[in-house]
Amino acid sequence: MPLVKQSSYKAPFGYISGHLQTIYPALIRKVPLQTKERERIATADGDFIDLDWAREQSFDRLAILTHGLEGSSNRAYMQGMARALIRAGWNVLAWNFRGCSGEPNRRLRSYHSGSIDDLETVIKHVDQTKHYHRIALIGFSLGGNVTLKLVGDLGHYIDPRICAAVAFSVPCDLASSAKWLEHHTNRLYMHRFLKTLSAKVREKIQRFPNQVHDDGLDQMRTFREFDEAYTAPIHGFINAEDYWAVTDGEPDLLSAPVAEWEIPVVEA
């Protein structure tokens, strides 16, 4: 992966701290709901995925937005992107990972950085709904990882209408990302993630008592502990290291026939 040695990015005036740039939009920024039409679709394993649409029948292009870890379709960054795309003449589909739409999913499994099957299900459903001429995939954080992994895994078999894949703040190396979140300066984020993840595990313990157990859940303070006890075994990995390694696989992204075109830059 190429590294940007000298970024041209300039933070908005007054936002000199990376923490401020992270916390303000997450907790304070408000964006009116853009994707107001909800649709629930079934998965092959008997679960469901909730989709939130903003669609104008005259638009022939669609952007599919995928949120980050423990996010949802109604987060400000998702709705801000949806607003910008709508203004630029796009239909928007913001979908929710299993268990992230406000209702627990039905199966023991949930979602993780290496799972692309639910995004594939969403894309197939779109194909059955309307024939868009162009489709863009846009993912944030974990959702960006899923987006890029799908493009890389499909390679030449990707739907030719998918002509762009855009990812923001992707954890390209899960092991180092997990380690960095253990640093004392990032404890706020670690606590926030584990709070909601732990609540979902407790709910699954109640529904699947013979398949998932309380392995010191309240004492967990790191992703390593959580992924070792829950993410890895629930989703078929040997341990946390195996999960991170498999998810961090580097497919040949250049093998996918992705056309080069621009999404108009509109302030979100």
Tell me, what's the pLDDT at 57?
A: 81
Instruction: Give the DSSP H/E element, type plus range, for residue 62.
Output: strand 61-66
237 vs 25 pLDDT, higher one: 237
3-class DSSP assignment, residue 32: coil
Tell me which of 258 and 141 has the higher pLDDT.
Answer: 141
Provide the token pair at 244: 């991170």
pLDDT exceeds cutoff 50 at 264:
no
Q: Which residue has the higher pLDDT, 187 or 253?
A: 187
Express each pLDDT in 20-30 by its tens digit: 888 887 788 89
Can you give the pLDDT at residue 7?
81
- Contact in structure between 221 and 124 (CB atoms under 8 Å): no
| Stated pTM of the model | 0.88
Counting Cβ atoms within 10 Å, is residue 254 exposed (0-12), middle (13-18) or buried (19+)? exposed
197 three-class SS: helix
Cβ–Cβ < 8 Å for 95, 121: no
What is the C-alpha separation between 148 and 167, in angstroms, rounded?
7
- For the chain, the average pLDDT equals 89
Indicate if the pLDDT at residue 257 is higher than 80.
no
% of the chain surpassing 90 pLDDT: 70
pLDDT score at 125 = 96
Q: What is the dihedral of CA 41, 45, 46, 51, to 10 degrees?
A: -20
pLDDT for the residue 268: 46
pLDDT given for residue 137 in this prediction: 98
- For residue 25, what pLDDT is reported? 79
Enumerate domains of the chain plus CATH numbers: 30-172 (3.40.50.1820), 173-249 (no CATH)
Predicted pLDDT at 24: 80
Distance CA 219, CA 257 (A): 47
**Non-local CB neighbours of 264 within 8 Å, separated by 6+ positions:** 88, 89
Query: What does the pLDDT look like over 51-104, one tens digit per residue?
Result: 999 998 888 999 999 999 999 999 999 999 999 999 999 999 999 999 999 999
How does 1-30 read in b/e, with b if 16+ C-beta sit within 10 Å? eeeeeeeeeeeeeeeeeeeeeeeebeeeee
Closest alpha carbon to 93 in 77, 79, 103, 114:
79
Whether 251 shows a pLDDT value over 70: the answer reads no
Amino acid in the structure at residue 177: S
* Under 8 Å between Cβ of 92 and 39: no
What is the mean pLDDT of the segment spanning 96-124?
Answer: 96
Mean pLDDT (whole number) for 34-63: 95
Q: Residue 164 burial (CB < 10 Å; 0-12/13-18/19+)?
A: middle
pLDDT tens profile 133-145: 999 999 999 999 9
Mean pLDDT of 26-41: 93
How is residue 54 written in tokens?
């903003």
* pLDDT 10s digits, 163-212: 999 999 998 889 999 999 999 889 889 999 999 999 999 999 999 999 99
Q: Is the pLDDT of residue 258 over 60?
A: no
